Amino acid sequence: MRFLSALAFGTLMLPLVALANDPNSYAQPDQVRVTHLDLDLHIDFPHKQLDGQATLKLDWTNPQAQSLVLDTRDLKIAKIEAVGSDGKTTPLKYALAPRDKVLGSKLTIATPKHPAQVRIVYTTSPGASGLQWLTPAQTADKKLPFMFSQSESIHARSWVPLQDSPAVRFTYDAHVTAPKDIRVVMSAPNDARHPLDGDYRFNQTHPIPSYLLAIGAGDIAAKETGPRSAVYAEPSVVAKAAHEFEDTEKMIATAEQLYGPYRWGRYDILVLPPSFPYGGMENPNMTFATPTVLVGDKSLVSLVAHELAHSWSGNLITAASWRDIWLNEGFTTYVQGRITEALYGKPLADEEALLSARALQKDIAAMPANAQKLAPDPRGVGADDSLSDVAYDKGSWFLRTLEQRFGRADFDAYLKGYFDHFAFQSITTEQMLDYLKPNLIEKYPGKMSWDEVNAWVYGEGIPKDAPLPDSPRFDAIDKQRGDFLAGTLAAAKLDARGWNTQEWMYFLDRLPDAPPLAKMQQLDAAWHLTGTPNAEIGMRWYSHAIAAGDKAVWPAAAEHMIRIGRLYLTTPLYKAFAKTPEGLAYAEQVYAKAKAGYHPLTQQAVESIIAKAKKANH
């Protein structure tokens, strides 16, 4: 996943995958494990629910176990039964515990006879945290309704009863029915030529964790971009998306040259409506992506490089707990940079690395001490909060440091071996380090001490000798920004005509938090930033202009906030407005218009910002 949101970080520690249970899950995989999921679902758009059944194949590891414990959130259970080898069913007694605000409801099924399979017949809630239902009016083409899932971190339990922990991996089959003209896709191999007959079957043969279980359905067209890749999107968007992502096959081949074969078969991309709360989600075989990267010049396709890279780091090797999520995101951000460099050149890869590093340098000191660590100490924080910039950007910075110390050739060989060694497993930070020590640190002595490794992984902040790439273009932008702010360079004289998206991002990122109003007005007059179709630039521009007190940008900022539901591109504007009473009142008006089109996760984040600001004002 890529969403660059500076959230709090950390979950309870999970030191031994085989023995310990995940603090963010009720499941007890040390007693029994789900090894396969068989789904049979009907998509009911009028009632905004999925109806059907989940049949779980079980591996009983404790002979004395008396029950199967599953994670659920707001599911309506109709019946539960054991399924015999002959297909005959026997009713099972079960108890659904009261709902916990974070974890949902613990489902305990009495299973003293250890059935090989258990079937749960159920219906989801219209307000399921892992599903978003859109009316035709909320889509690009306005013709048919749309539904999509977002299971990471612990939202799969809101649409399937299962062991919702990254430590548990399972294969799955699914049969999904929907109204005719609706295409259904899942995180499994998809057929771009499947007739729109309302009847779909999927088969994921590789074991995946629950957060990678995904479904989407709507007015979806498909356009192939290579022998094993296609883009799926609404009909009015698909051609634009196919053009933007036409290098997908080159990206796959580049990653394979670096880190070994792509093991998932097909790699397709579903471009979702603008309400998708994240930049991208690395669902196996079918990345879910935000339309905000469709800017026409391929300047933001590193998001695809990131989600593709997850096919090695995250999907192939998975963090065993949310506390270890840097193993997914830090490694993936590093691999993303290598793909970007190979396809689009070192200057662009260096610019993107510098952008993230500078942002982290600015923010990390304000984070709680434990949140600054790649592998935080045990403490109870929600799983969703673990996806911070530390996991992405400090993690990738650590790997770039290893590459610099050991040399690219030896580090590449190590990383390829790491992906092979732990393929299709969920591991902890400690397991990763146990492999790193003999296979890199001790294999090439004198290049990096174990104390330095521990400082990166368990230490606060960023080590003082952390290397940064050089970027002559960014250096020139720093000088121009300084001259502009000092008044010795007029806004119209900025050498910005050839700046790419990343260079505008860098220029705006390093403006003062509340820049002088006159400077913002001069900048807008010269470069027409208000109303930009580029959401990355827009988010930065509006945030600074609002902070400067430029009310002229408010309507355009509101349009941005209503049009885009991606957390990273929308919440900074709410935060900027919330700093003044008048701005907060305006933000509340905007949210009233935008709320219906936001994903539940975005609604939750915005409501938290508004509530916090109101509390601070009283």
Report the C-alpha gap between 362 and 120 in whole angstroms. 49
172 domain-assigned: yes
Considering the domain boundaries, does residue 288 fall inside one? no
Average pLDDT score over the chain: 94
477 and 393 share one domain: no
Which residue range(s) make up the domain with 94?
Answer: 25-126+143-164+168-210
* pLDDT tens-digit map of 509-519: 999 999 999 99
Beta carbons of 397 and 462 less than 8 angstroms apart:
yes
- Structural domain contains residue 260: no
pLDDT for the residue 85: 87
Which residues fall within 8 angstroms of residue 243, CB to CB, at 6 or more apart?
A: none
Angle at which helices 326-344 and 302-309 cross, to 10°: 130
- State how many domains the chain has: 3
194: CATH: 2.60.40.1730
H, E, C per residue of 380-410: CCCHHHHCCHHHHHHHHHHHHHHHHHHCHHH
According to DSSP H, which parts of 462-580 are helical? 472-486, 501-509, 517-527, 535-548, 554-563, 567-577
Q: What is the pLDDT of residue 377?
A: 83
Categorize the per-residue pLDDT at 15 as very low, low, confident or very high, splitting at 50, 70 and 90: very low
CATH number at residue 435: 1.10.390.10
94, 232, 392, 506: which one is catalytic?
392
Shared domain check, 554 and 491: yes
Angle at 282 between CA 540 and CA 193, to 5 degrees: 115
554 and 410 in a common domain: no
Other Cβ atoms less than 10 A from the Cβ of 581: the count is 11
Dump the DSSP string for 414-445. HHHHHHHHTTTEEE-HHHHHHHHIIIIITTST
Same domain for 429 and 330: yes
pLDDT in tens, 314-344: 999 999 999 999 999 999 999 999 999 999 9
Do 421 and 491 share a domain, yes or no?
Answer: no
Assigned domain for 36 exists: yes
Binding-site residue numbers for Zn(2+) are: 306, 310, 329
Domain membership of residue 135 (yes or no) is no
Q: Is residue 275 part of a domain?
A: no
Domain match, 117 and 185 both: yes
> How many other C-beta atoms lie within 10 A of the C-beta of residue 110?
13
Cα separation, 24 vs 554, in Å, equals 40
In a shared domain, residues 378 and 439: yes
In a domain, 3, yes or no: no
Same domain, 381 and 488: no
Same domain, 436 and 484: no
Q: What is the pTM of this model?
A: 0.92
On whether both 437 and 501 belong to a single domain, the answer is no
Locate 355 and state its tokens.
């952008």
Annotated active-site residue 307? The verdict is: yes
Give the residue from 408, 426, 458 where a domain finishes.
Answer: 458
Q: What's the Rg (C-alpha) of the chain?
A: 24
* Mean pLDDT on 180-209: 97
Q: How far is CA 177 from the centre of its chain?
A: 27
Q: Count of alpha carbons within 13 Å of 108, Cβ hemisphere only?
A: 8
Distances in Å between the alpha carbon of 20 and those of 14, 32, 336, 370?
6, 12, 32, 22
The listed range with the strongest mean pLDDT (20-29, 260-269, 386-395) is 260-269
Same domain, 411 and 483: no
Phi, psi of 159 (to 5 degrees): -130, -5
At 7, is the secondary structure helix, strand, or coil? coil
- What is the reported pLDDT for 617? 82
SS3 category, 78: strand
DSSP state, 76? Answer: E
Percent of the chain with pLDDT over 90: 90
Residue pair 311/284 in contact (Cβ under 8 Å)? The answer is yes
Q: Are residue 588 and residue 500 in the same domain, yes or no?
A: yes
| Catalytic residue of the set 244, 307, 403, 536 | 307
- pLDDT digits 0-9 by tens, 112-166: 999 999 999 999 999 999 999 999 988 999 999 999 999 999 999 999 999 999 9
**Which CATH number covers residue 606?**
1.25.40.320
Domain-embedded: residue 426: yes
Q: Which of 45, 44, 19 is nearest to 33 (CA)?
A: 19
Q: Which of 458, 487, 520 is the last residue of a domain?
A: 458
Tokens of 326: 């840097």
In this structure, the number of other CB atoms found within 10 A of the CB of residue 374 comes to 22
The b-or-e profile of 408-442 (16+ CB within 10 A means b, else e) is: eebbbebbeebbeebeeebbbbbbbbebbeebbbe
Residues 6+ apart with CB under 8 A from 384: 7, 153, 154, 601
